[in-house]
């Protein structure tokens, strides 16, 4: 049996490990603490035992959940009876490694060992019989079946092992139900959809929580029965600059360029209502307010592949060129101190697939929507910004030092040529009158795009998208050692969205029910 890790002096709250509860709560595959955070929010008590093989994840978990007893070990090697010390287990949460079930794995061989980790749940059910068991995984967990000789899932026996695993729980006296739920429907600004299973042996019914949020245009939201989805824009720190794509040492891949061009056209040139950032004065340039946006972010993965695309439009009556989003707008002289930002997210690093390059169009999302799924390898997208200045007739003022020419050529090459075969050498002045390439009209006034920026989302932005509280510590572990951005993102992508674990546990778990059953 693995020994619990030694606690350090760095604690967020004092430790009170007295046996004041009638049963304990265990988080297997605890990771950085997403499930535990939601469980604690639902039950108003600390998780008692957390187990994970990743030392950095356990350290992050311990920093945020100091009252929990932590075991840094392979879950297969842990003895359930020993780590629970004979106390009854009321709640067992399990989130086995999902990457060898996920469709993101593509056509690569998978590991039978990793796919078999869910059998640990059956081991715990036999050994300590938790009153309630919760399991979270990707949707494809339901296709769990035998592998072929080349370690690929057998297409003829999809789901065979899953059904056997489920029957094993039922044979132990558990009632088992499962559903697929989306995080954005329960308050997280991500469209992340996951498989959830609830099993209980205490005779009480399984309850599935009703959604609390929905699409802004839905009847339920309009009738105020649901809250509107939280959005990608709510997660983004707009003070972080996005460097120009034309000043990169390494050129972007063509697939990424096409996504950027499509995003610029869809959410900047053709947008109906730009995302608005209001600057009051130059002295308060950092005091910006955003207009409300009505949709959540895409799903976050374990790699940092999220970038944001936004258009920065500034009214410059002096004829000066636009500045970067992070710069003070000291040159704005009009009483109309508004800058317009139209933003969207693009997928990064996934290639174009075998469908003739069409797949990239699905990797573009408005920041008015929830973010895409966050994975352990990082964000699945990037933020793209495009700088615009006011167009006076055919003149954009002193545009020296900008990348307006590159912008126009870029849009023609990666978007215009796909539409009507426009040559990259065609003079740019003919384009705005024909297909408005590089020209944006906002409330009747014309602006020209003079630059495009791109940056990956920061770890804190990803944790916001996943639904973690702002107070969650991600920079340091329990031992005070700093965590790299790569480690932070990996643990974010591997985490359960706290609002979902909170909703499911809150709808089902009650320690009072356990006490009542024992008294009866």
Handedness of CA 293, 295, 297, 298 (dihedral sign): negative
Residue 379 is predicted with a pLDDT of 53
Band of the pLDDT at 317, cuts 50, 70, 90? very low
If you average pLDDT over residues 426-451, what whole number do you get?
Answer: 61
Residue 321 reports pLDDT greater than 60: no
CA atoms within 13 A on the CB side of 249: 0
pLDDT digits (tens, 9 = 90+) for 50-68: 999 999 999 999 999 999 9
If you average pLDDT over residues 293-317, what whole number do you get?
Answer: 46
Residue 204 reports pLDDT greater than 90: yes
Residue 506 reports pLDDT greater than 90: yes
Q: How far apart are CA 51 and CA 120, in angstroms?
A: 12
Phi, psi of 226 (to 5 degrees): -130, 155
Residue 326 reports pLDDT greater than 80: no
Band of the pLDDT at 98, cuts 50, 70, 90? confident
Residue 312 is predicted with a pLDDT of 44
Q: How far apart are CA 85 and CA 91, in angstroms?
A: 15
Residue 422 is predicted with a pLDDT of 39
Helix (H, G, I), strand (E, B) or coil at 210: coil
pLDDT digits (tens, 9 = 90+) for 372-418: 888 776 655 688 877 777 666 555 555 444 687 788 888 888 887 64
Residue located via tokens 């930002």:
341
User: 24-226+501-519 falls under which CATH superfamily?
Assistant: Vaccinia Virus protein VP39 (3.40.50.150)
Residue 213 reports pLDDT greater than 50: yes
Q: Which is it for strands 132-137 and 175-182: parallel, antiparallel or unpaired?
A: unpaired
- b/e string for 349-386 if b means 16 or more Cβ within 10 A? bbebeeeeeebbeebbbbbbbbbbbbbbbbbbbbbbbb
Percent of the chain with pLDDT over 90: 44
Band of the pLDDT at 70, cuts 50, 70, 90? very high
Residue 226 is predicted with a pLDDT of 97
pTM over 0.85, yes/no: no
Q: Which two tokens stand for residue 58?
A: 């356990």
Phi, psi of 383 (to 5 degrees): -95, 125
Bridge partners, 202 (sequence order): none
Residue 434 is predicted with a pLDDT of 37
If you average pLDDT over residues 177-193, what whole number do you get?
Answer: 94
Residue 355 is predicted with a pLDDT of 37
| 206-210, 261-265, 281-285: least confident range | 281-285
Residue 290 reports pLDDT greater than 60: no
Report whether 462 contacts 381 (CB < 8 A): no
Helix (H, G, I), strand (E, B) or coil at 145: coil
Residue 9 is predicted with a pLDDT of 28
Residue 65 is predicted with a pLDDT of 97
Band of the pLDDT at 293, cuts 50, 70, 90? very low
DSSP 371: B
Residue 395 is predicted with a pLDDT of 59
pLDDT digits (tens, 9 = 90+) for 123-175: 999 999 999 999 999 999 999 999 899 988 899 999 999 999 999 999 999 99
Residue 316 is predicted with a pLDDT of 31
Write the CB contacts of 325 (distance below 8 Å, at least 6 apart in sequence): 238, 239, 241, 242, 310, 312, 341, 385, 387, 453
Band of the pLDDT at 102, cuts 50, 70, 90? confident
Residue 303 is predicted with a pLDDT of 59
Bigger pLDDT: 74 or 8? 74
Band of the pLDDT at 96, cuts 50, 70, 90? very high
Q: How far apart are CA 408 and CA 394, in angstroms?
A: 15
Domain ranges within the chain, ordered by starting residue: 24-226+501-519, 245-457
By C-alpha distance, which of 509, 504, 510, 462 is closest to 182? 504
If you average pLDDT over residues 197-217, what whole number do you get?
Answer: 96
Residue 297 reports pLDDT greater than 90: no
Residue 304 is predicted with a pLDDT of 52
Bigger pLDDT: 323 or 221? 221
Q: Which two tokens stand for residue 461?
A: 């932005």
> Please, what is the average pLDDT of the chain?
76
């Amino acid at each position: 049996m693995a020994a619990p890790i030694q606690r350090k002096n760095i604690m967020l709250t004092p430790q009170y490990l007295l046996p004041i509860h009638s049963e304990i709560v265990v988080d297997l595959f605890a990771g950085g603490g997403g499930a535990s955070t939601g469980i604690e929010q639902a039950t108003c008590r600390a998780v008692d035992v957390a187990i994970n093989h990743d030392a950095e994840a356990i350290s992050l978990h311990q920093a945020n959940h100091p009252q929990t007893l932590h075991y840094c070990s392979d879950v297969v090697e842990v003895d359930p009876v020993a780590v629970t010390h004979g106390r009854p287990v009321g709640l067992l949460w399990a989130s086995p490694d999902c990457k060898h079930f996920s469709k993101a794995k593509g056509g690569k061989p998978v590991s039978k060992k990793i796919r078999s980790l869910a059998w640990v749940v059956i081991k715990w059910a036999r050994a300590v019989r938790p009153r309630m068991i919760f399991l979270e995984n990707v949707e494809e967990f339901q296709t769990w079946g035998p592998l072929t000789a080349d370690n690929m899932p057998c297409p003829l026996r999809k789901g065979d092992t899953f059904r056997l695993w489920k029957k094993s729980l039922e044979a132990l006296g558990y009632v088992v139900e499962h559903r697929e739920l989306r995080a954005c429907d329960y308050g997280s600004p991500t469209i992340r959809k996951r498989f959830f299973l609830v099993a209980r042996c205490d005779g009480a019914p399984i309850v599935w929580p009703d959604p609390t949020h929905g699409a802004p245009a839905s009847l339920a939201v309009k009738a105020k029965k649901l809250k509107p989805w939280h959005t990608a824009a709510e997660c983004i720190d707009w003070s972080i600059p996005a460097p120009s794509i034309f000043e990169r040492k390494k050129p972007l891949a063509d697939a990424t360029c096409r996504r950027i061009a499509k995003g610029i056209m869809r959410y900047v040139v053709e947008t109906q209502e730009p995302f608005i950032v209001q600057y009051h004065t130059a002295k308060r340039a950092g005091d910006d307010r955003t207009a409300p946006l009505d949709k959540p972010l895409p799903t976050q993965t374990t790699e940092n592949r999220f970038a944001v695309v936004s258009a920065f439009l500034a009214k410059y009556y002096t004829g000066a060129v636009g500045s970067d989003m992070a710069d003070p707008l000291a040159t704005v002289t009009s009483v109309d101190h508004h800058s317009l930002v139209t933003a969207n997210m693009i997928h990064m690093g996934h290639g174009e697939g075998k469908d003739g390059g069409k797949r990239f169009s699905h990797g573009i999302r408005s920041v008015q929507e929830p973010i895409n799924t966050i994975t352990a390898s990082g964000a699945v997208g990037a933020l793209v910004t495009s700088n615009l200045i006011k167009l006076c007739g055919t003149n954009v003022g002193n545009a020296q030092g900008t990348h307006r020419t590159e912008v126009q050529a870029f849009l023609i090459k990666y978007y215009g040529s796909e539409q009507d075969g426009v040559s990259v050498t065609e003079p740019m002045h003919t384009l705005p009158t024909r297909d408005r390439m590089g020209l944006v009209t906002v409330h009747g006034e014309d602006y020209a795009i003079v630059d495009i920026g791109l940056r990956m989302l920061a770890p804190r932005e990803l944790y916001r998208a996943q639904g973690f509280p702002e107070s969650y510590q991600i920079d340091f572990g329990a031992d005070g050692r700093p965590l790299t951005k790569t480690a932070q993102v990996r643990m974010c992508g591997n985490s359960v969205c706290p609002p979902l674990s909170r909703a499911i546990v809150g709808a089902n778990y009650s320690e009072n029910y356990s006490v009542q059953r024992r008294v009866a």
